[in-house]
Chain A
């Protein structure tokens, strides 16, 4: 109680100090929640791409829109070490919107390959409804962000792809019935619409340039193939073997993909660290300044306490507790404000949001704020604790 009274007695200074910590923790919370969001997103990629081999057309990259022949799928399945291989067929859900800057995954339509879940380390589950099958036509399972953006429930219909404002006259849309809603994964599938491979091939064919469209059979083309290795098989070696043995395919090494995701994660970790350093500077200097002034003003009090029996650790503890309390209050307010802002911003973002406030982040923010207060208050507290009682009692 005495600590609270001491802070209350110096209201303006306490408020200013707490504000300094608040700003720092606010920055840490907002930046940290953004970093958390992207790190979860990237972790999903690491999990998915870490245990599978992504195969694309020999001329195309893994993430390009190059197509490959369906017959290549059987060749890949025949490579030694391949346990299973599934076609991937995907198109963007909002054509023409790719020139819009986005920090998240743009909405996409892809095929759902029944059976692939058995092999993939990345698991998806349904919140409601059923999965589409190879025999499904004009049925779709929606990711959580996709469903939320279009406000769709099981049984509703949705027109895909979304017609752009400047759509050409030959732009084709299809009416799909929502048969399942996928649980939130906090990563790519949240922004996906999953249809049967046949329907995805239809959409892929219709997305091709008109000149090309008439020359190919869309049902003989896939965007790529995802292959899974048998237990114990080195996937990087398997990727090399696929590239070597299937002339029309180029497989990416999982370790290369995982490394690129981790590199992305490092950027966001740096952002969080930078925010923490900012908090450290702003909040830390405020606390140091306030505690030095507090010690200076309360020299006689320290002398009195020592005279009546306070030991060095008593004085040290009292001042550290005061500094830590300022850290806790500033941290709690900063976290709440930061969390409120991220919730408000995410509420207005149809793609599912940019931020992820987790209990881990809350503990980190509060723990950091308390440690910041205590750390910054340590030097003034030591000064107070070491004060000579006679000198302190005689001070004016």
Chain B
């Protein structure tokens, strides 16, 4: 079963005659465990696509199916529920709450999804270990570097064991080396847990390290390039090339 499928995804902003067409009938399917990059110029519809897939925005037309569920039939409460359990978000500006420690930020989604807090805490500790910040769990965001904050945000996106993680320019606020490290981290998690990743990036070099590159232009999907496994080179957190 695909992790996500969109059919004829269309999104218009505003009313005629000043209407802006952000997406114009995009069809796309992402299988479980795929690591996909969306690239395109500013205004191509990348972020709108992510917002629609992330159930943050309703499309003007078309369907978004998550794990086979047609999300267009769901009310806001059900969409929030599905978002909480099936989707993880990583943002460009990290969006960690400054009043909370790293551990509390990772556990924040639990507040809205419910579930066993003790098990979640164990999972959060494991995730902190996974992202290499086990010793920073009690630090606040202001005490962490940009790369560290984004690693915490990655851990937060995974705490509810989603099937799909959406990243909106997740490496956009860090330097090249850190960006490469973050991508390596996400790919490692992707390989280990089979969580699908859909990330928006303007960095073609980073995009080339994913399984697949989707190119958007003016709201249209103009290219869907599947990269051969041997062509995908990426660096793990430990710096080992696989």
Contact segment of B2-10, B106-114, B189-197: B106-114
Q: Are B98 and A9 in contact (CB under 8 A)?
A: yes
Find A307's partner among B56, B100, B111, B113 (CB 8 Å cutoff).
Answer: B56
Q: Are A310 and B99 in contact (CB under 8 A)?
A: no
- Bound: A309/B76 CA distance, A: 10
| Given A2-B100, A9-B98, A301-B97; A311-B112 close (CB under 8 Å) | yes
Across the interface, which residues of B come within 8 angstroms of A308, CB to CB?
83-84, 89, 108-109, 112, 156
Closest beta carbon of chain B to A347's beta carbon, Å:
43
Contact residues of B between 97 and 137, Cβ < 8 Å to A: 97-100, 104, 108-109, 111-113
Mark contacts of A288-309 with chain B using CB atoms, 8 A cut-off: 1 yes-contact digit, 0 otherwise: 0000000000001100111111
Closest beta carbon of chain B to A222's beta carbon, Å:
75
Q: Are B112 and A309 in contact (CB under 8 A)?
A: yes
- Bound: A2/B112 CA distance, A: 14
Task: Count contacts on B: residues with CB < 8 A to the other chain.
Answer: 26
Tell yes or no: B80 within 8 A of A by CB.
yes
Q: Are B84 and A309 in contact (CB under 8 A)?
A: yes
Q: Are A389 and B85 in contact (CB under 8 A)?
A: no
Q: Are A307 and B112 in contact (CB under 8 A)?
A: no
Across the interface, which residues of B come within 8 angstroms of A309, CB to CB?
80-81, 83-85, 109, 112-113, 160
| Given A314-B111, A390-B51, A390-B56; A306-B98 close (CB under 8 Å) | no
Closest beta carbon of chain A to B176's beta carbon, Å:
25
- Bound: A5/B97 CA distance, A: 11
Tell yes or no: B234 within 8 A of A by CB.
no
Contact residues of B between 36 and 72, Cβ < 8 Å to A: 51, 54, 56-57
Mark contacts of A211-255 with chain B using CB atoms, 8 A cut-off: 1 yes-contact digit, 0 otherwise: 000000000000000000000000000000000000000000000
- Bound: A5/B84 CA distance, A: 24
- Bound: A5/B61 CA distance, A: 43
Closest beta carbon of chain A to B212's beta carbon, Å:
24
Q: How many A-B residue pairs have CB under 8 A?
A: 59
CB closest chain-A residue, reference B48:
A390
| Overall SS of chain A's interface | helix
CB closest chain-B residue, reference A298:
B97
Task: Count contacts on A: residues with CB < 8 A to the other chain.
Answer: 19
CB closest chain-A residue, reference B84:
A309
- Bound: A304/B100 CA distance, A: 14
Tell yes or no: B77 within 8 A of A by CB.
yes
Tell yes or no: A312 within 8 A of B by CB.
yes
- Bound: A301/B100 CA distance, A: 12
Across the interface, which residues of B come within 8 angstroms of A282, CB to CB?
none
Contact residues of A between 300 and 353, Cβ < 8 Å to B: 300-301, 304-312, 314
Closest beta carbon of chain B to A14's beta carbon, Å:
13
Across the interface, which residues of B come within 8 angstroms of A307, CB to CB?
54, 56, 83, 89
* CB pairs A–B below 8 angstroms (22 shown): A2-B97, A2-B104, A5-B99, A5-B100, A6-B99, A9-B98, A300-B95, A304-B97, A306-B56, A307-B54, A307-B56, A307-B89, A308-B112, A308-B156, A309-B81, A309-B83, A309-B160, A311-B76, A311-B77, A311-B112, A389-B56, A393-B91
